[in-house]
Structure 1
């Protein structure tokens, strides 16, 4: 996802001199081509994310289209006040890009685990929140963010996620994407969990359980109509996210189902609502938190048996 983001951002920057990238003194392995091609459109703000965000808001209100970039927890948690007061309140054309959402920086410990960022960002009025599921969705949502502008938060994976879509899907802002249709369970994913969810659906199909797979890159605005439709046509809805089960995709789906009076059971699969004291690479931490294809399919089977 990260590679696709920078390739497409550079293409856009070459034709739009008002597009600016600001980084928090990291990511130079992927940032350097942008710097070399568009040096006047790049700023390294240093390890000063509050300043980076305030600078971005000021530049946007002067006519720039600004992207800020850092490891996911730093451009969100560290400068929440600036995002709320400077960017969102003023409707500034700023896209906050968080790379390595979830447990991608697992070995660096909980300070680098971005597991509450979606919940925090979706609580801010007027701030779009989007977490594409593969490189093709990344290109689609980035096109929207460039054309329609911010304020927005874009959450990216960084682990060389495989493409699930054969080509760039048509992803309108606020809409989910259905990858396959089934009748028993609706698997709704956001962010980099999409390939894992597709694999889990394959396993369930082998067990005779028919699965619908939906990618929900947009968390704000959220595709409430798709959630209601899935609830009315399936025995079980399951949300899967590399994020706390509190306040993210699962929370958004729960809000919709509660207010619609749906009788469809909802199972939220994600990171437990507690600080993570375990370290290790992303694959290991996904196993710890039950975010593997085997764990997801096993939990779905057990829940369907209990319904």
Structure 2
């Protein structure tokens, strides 16, 4: 579709506009200005752009220093390296030190495709959401990426934002909706079960809802764009009103969105659940669509999970 553009490009375009008025916005890259689509920002605002090179630990430390001096740093680096190689710096320099750093993990999930486990980033949510004082977010499309970036500029505190590499299909008709960090968006109402998705799996969930509707199943869709702080109220409302929950994510089934939702459900209102994601194995190499299909992160996979929960 003509409207499909990568979320990383949207972040650059949004920061370009905001930086015109806010000279404290600084973008840092780890030899990734091209892959992060930040070349236009570097060209327009060379004094507000820092190229650190292949040094993920250093880029986090430098960004924390800039934040301490009153700047609003946005770090752009491949998610697989940013969330693993520099996790100690994220924990200490950003979270523990309460610095205003936004860590943008680009090419997250399985977007590096054929490069396999070394470049897949399907453990990052588990690691980052366990760090106190660090928000964790994933936008679903270009509209949400724009709104999220605008919100993050004014958000005081550290945050990890994971985005993919490839163009994504819209899930919103426009950006004219209320976006609040920590507040899930109800994309579809339903009474038989709820599918909770985040990031690029929101589109999959919406397509699954359409297929389930044809089978007479009323399915609620929640876009949990913020993994932390989690919208506990939306989860409990879904558990009480629909009685069944499926989570779907481009992440390991251990420690990510599914685990976060299950922690709430099991403690406050237990209902039958299914967690759809990458199992405890190195994810297969291939295009994102191929990986999704293989692991049931698909309309067919979600439809089958719904049938299982409903006993059909």
Q: Does 2:161 correspond to 1:158?
A: no
Q: Report the counterpart of residue 200 of structure 1 in structure 2.
A: 208
Q: Return the match for 2:116 from 109, 117, 123.
A: 109
- TM normalised by structure 1 equals 0.96
- Aligned-residue Cα RMSD (Å) equals 1.2
Partner of 1:6 in structure 2?
12
Secondary structure, aligned partner of 1:247: coil
Aligned to 2:154: 147
What residue number does 1:214 align with?
222
What TM-score, normalized to structure 2?
Answer: 0.95
Q: How does 1:56-75 map to 2 (within 5 A)?
A: 56-75=63-82
Whole-angstrom distance in 2 between the partners of 1:164 and 1:226: 19
What is the deviation of 1:92?
Answer: 0.6
Deviation at 1:274, TM superposition (A): 2.5
Structure 2 portions without partners, runs of 5+ = 1-6
1:143-180 Cα deviation digits (max 9, x unpaired): 11101133000111221111111122312121100011
Given that 1:68 and 1:75 are in contact with CA atoms closer than 8 Å, whether structure 2 keeps it comes out as: no
Residue in structure 2 matching 1:126, options 124, 133, 143 = 133
Q: Deviations over 1:16-59 (max 9, x none)?
A: 11111110101416221101110101111100000111111111
Residue pairs, 1:179-190, within 5 angstroms: 179-190=187-198
Residue from 87, 90, 97 that aligns with 2:104? 97
Contact between 2:8 and 2:163, CA under 8 Å: does it hold in 1?
Answer: yes
Secondary structure of the structure 2 residue equivalent to 1:148 = coil
Aligned residues: 304
Does the alignment pair 1:281 with 2:271? no
Contact 2:274 2:305 in 1 (8 A): no
Q: Indicate if the aligned counterparts of 2:272 and 2:309 stay in contact, CA closer than 8 A.
A: no
Q: How far has the Cα of 1:264 moved from its partner?
A: 1.6
Q: How does 1:261-272 map to 2 (within 5 A)?
A: 262-272=269-279
In the TM superposition, residue 220 of structure 1 has moved relative to its aligned partner by: 0.7
Query: Moved runs in structure 1, 4+ residues, more than 2 A?
Result: 273-276
Q: Distance in 1 between matches of 2:265 and 2:74?
A: 34
- Structure 1 pair 263–92 and aligned structure 2 pair: CA distance change class (3 A): closer
